[in-house]
Chain A
Amino acid sequence: MKGKRIRSLGLMLSCIVAAFSIGGCGDSKNDGKVEVEIVQYKPEAANYFTMVEEAFNASHDNIHLTIHSPNDAMAILKTRFIREDYPDIIGIGGDINYSYFVDAEILADISGYTGLSNIKQAYLDIGESLELVPTDGTYAAPYMANAAGVLYNREMFAEHGWEIPKTWDELMELCEEIQSEGILPFYFGFKDTWTCLAPWNSMAVDLSPADTAKQVNRGETTFTKEYREVSEKYIKLLDYGPDDPFAFAYNDACTAFARGESAMYPIGSYAAPQILSVNPDLDIDSFVMPANDSADGNTLNSGIDLQFCVTAECENPEAAYEVLDFLYKDENIQQYIDAQNAIPCKEGDFTLSPILDGMHEYIESGNMTDYQDHYYPSEMAVDAQLQTFLIEKDVDAFLSKFDKDWQRYNRDIIRLVQEYETSGAQ
């Protein structure tokens, strides 16, 4: 009697399991079309990608495109990789995750893709240099870039007749002047550690070699040497910010800047939508962070914000290229730029957001340098180390810890680089 019941319960449970495990695989709606799936990591651009998906499917009979724009896409991508369930195309940033993916041979060589010839060389070069060790082939098609520098309140600047600074000294004078008029020069949101990286990156490109991290990996220099000036100058900025910058988060800083509580905000162009959501009438412009003592030494801090990579497992690269062609259509790129204040990686005559006015000449001339933090492993938490440094203000301690931790967190990469160097020398 009871044995029967237990057995029937067991049977029932296994039936349920079976029923649902079968139900899980039923989503192949293949009607002769080639399926192309994209997972891209910028959820803020989800609306744009839904639009692209619909437009593409409406105009193509042979290919069916699906684009996912999940939040926390990196976690999703990594778990899908471990399940060996690869999307055809992934849209990720040009940062160290990309370097790891190339190293892990997850991505396909797309040097055969004709669309690459329309992409600005500066961005293709950035993509190449992100490879841990030089690897034959091209693994990414850069799509959009962003830029970091200083956002400023254009109306406030015009009202007081303030000039855009071109050198470090001019910036310091400007800050003094703004402060003397009783206005706060900068706002910071250093409670969110990642915002500590924004001024850091945009100053470091002016003062340190673009490939500092790679030079260190090859054992040619140290961060203590290359980052001293940046660190010393960074502390000076604090004098012109709020009293306790570590109390405010990114969101607080955006709101404060939007409400006119400060004249400038050293952050990337990506902050504009959040700022404008609080105050849609604010007139924002930006300028390149003038950290160098000479105007010629300054360069725009710009890196690849979104690039498309075809995975090695993609069965039909031709179909993937056709999707990329569609994404690279001028009118689609223009739509993306308008919605996200982004900078296109494609050559062509696009209308940039007025927020980027002050950076225009740098973009035009290609005077751009990638973010230093795209080479930092995230687990080293350079952002948190910077926050600690800004609280303690101890340059020597910060730099020596930086060098020490770098060796520890990059052990495997350094070994890889040095193996490559010695094998190359032989």
Chain B
Amino acid sequence: MKNERKRTFLLITIPILALFVCFNTIPLIRGVIYSFTNFKGFGSYDWVGLRNYMDLFTDVRVGKSYLFTFKLAIVTTIVVNVISLILAMALNSKIRAKSFFRGAYFLPNVLGALVVGYIFNYLFTYIIPAFMDMIGLEAFSSSILSNQNTAWIAIVVVCAWQSIAMNTIIYISGLQTVPEDVYEAGGLDGATGWKKFRYLTFPLIIPFFGINMVLSVKNFLMVFDQIMALTKGGPAQSTESISYLIYNNGMSGGQFGFQSANAVVFFIVIVLVSVTQMKISSGKEEQL
């Protein structure tokens, strides 16, 4: 019986793993090989040894992109998870027109980057400054997108606006696994509000909180679409994310080899960050 179970698990795992290795690991290894060349993306190339990696650590632009990306990822992850958790609980409570609200809150995630880019550009460039002017806050009457100290805030706003939907869905499906009787028991103990959330709900959805944290950090570390839609790395190169550099200079530009090296290092960095996160959240799970 035990053997049968083991064998079934292996029969499931091996073919799927093979598919994964074929279309993820092997191309990744090929990519890593390019990172030791000066390949432009086409034509012939030379081996350059570790030159790309040496350059990487002395490249100011890459350094700046790491700072920007991490700042963005941390702030956005916090903002998004706080809002989506609140939203998920609101949408999961007994309210009227639940389907309508759920549908409506999902919309931002479906609108294409061109639409989102245009609308938010318009909002930041014309509408918000005019509004600030109207209520007399002249200090805020210029576009936050044109100032290199504030442009990142605009990106946080748009990233959050778009991804809250997805995080909310995951939280909602997590809340679905919380059995009603837990609340009933809690109700008898007189747990309400914050206490109920902290000691009853939250511990049960920690796996989903963990997943959301990992996914958010990963998504925002790899931010690309919103940058393309809003700032294209400007003003004054203040919003160049790591993915933006990898894609723009590696694919559109002729720096494929160098940006492959950047991608390899970036991959290792995100894996480290995420493994740490998963360790922490599974530690929490056991603790509770």
Contact = CB atoms under 8 A, between A and B. Distances in A.
B102 to A, nearest CB: 34
Interface stretch (A111-119, A137-145, A240-248): A240-248
Contact of B148 (A2, A81, A252, A391): A391
A191 B251 contact: no
A144 B168 CA distance: 52
Contacts of A276: none
B252 A74 contact: yes
Interface stretch (B171-179, B188-196, B228-236): B228-236
Interface in B1-50: 8, 11-12, 15, 38, 40-44
Contacts of B109: none
Interface in A112-156: none
A249 interface: yes
A16 interface: no
A243 B142 CA distance: 10
Contacts of A158: none
B143 A244 contact: yes
Interface string A367-397: 0000000000111010011011001100000
A101 B142 CA distance: 44
B145 interface: yes
A104 B42 contact: yes
Given A2-B8, A379-B248, A379-B253, A246 B42 contact: no
A106 B44 CA distance: 10
A246 to B, nearest CB: 4
A193 B151 CA distance: 15
A58 interface: no
B234 A379 contact: no
Contacts of B251: 75, 78
B145 A384 contact: no
Nearest to A194: B232
B42 A106 contact: yes
Given A2-B8, A104-B43, A391-B148, A246 B254 contact: no
Contact of A103 (B43, B236, B248, B249): B43
Given A100-B42, A100-B254, A379-B255, A247 B11 contact: no
A22 interface: no
A82 B253 contact: no
Nearest to B121: A249
A379 B12 CA distance: 45
Contact of B235 (A3, A75, A391): A391
Contacts of A409: 255
A192 interface: yes
B235 A191 contact: yes
B133 to A, nearest CB: 13
Nearest to A391: B236
A100 B142 contact: no
Given A75-B252, A78-B41, A388 B236 contact: yes
Interface residues of B, number: 34
A384 B254 contact: no
Interface residues of A, number: 39
A381 B237 contact: yes
A10 interface: yes
A364 interface: no
B125 interface: yes
A377 B44 CA distance: 18
Contact of B253 (A2, A3, A249, A377): A377
A285 B236 CA distance: 32
Contacts of A247: 125, 142-143, 145-146
A211 B234 CA distance: 29
Contact of A377 (B38, B145, B231, B254): B254
B252 A384 contact: no
A412 interface: yes
Contacts of B44: 104-105
A246 B234 CA distance: 9
A244 B8 contact: no
Contact of A412 (B38, B143, B148, B248): B38
Interface string B88-125: 00000000000000000000000000000000010001
B254 A378 contact: yes
Given A381-B237, A387-B235, A246 B43 contact: no
B183 to A, nearest CB: 40
Nearest to B230: A191
A6 interface: yes
A101 B44 CA distance: 10
Contacts of B233: 193, 381, 384
A193 B234 contact: yes
A100 B235 contact: no
B43 A105 contact: yes
Nearest to B256: A78
A100 B41 CA distance: 10
A191 B146 contact: yes
A197 to B, nearest CB: 13
Contacts of A74: 252
Given A191-B125, A244-B143, 8 more contacts: A81-B41, A105-B43, A191-B146, A246-B147, A247-B142, A249-B125, A378-B248, A384-B236
17 contacts: A6-B11, A78-B42, A82-B41, A100-B42, A100-B254, A101-B42, A105-B44, A106-B42, A106-B43, A191-B234, A244-B142, A247-B125, A247-B143, A378-B254, A379-B253, A388-B235, A392-B236
Interface of A: 2-3, 6, 10, 74-75, 78, 81-82, 96, 100-101, 103-106, 191-193, 243-244, 246-249, 252, 377-379, 381, 384-385, 387-388, 391-392, 408-409, 412
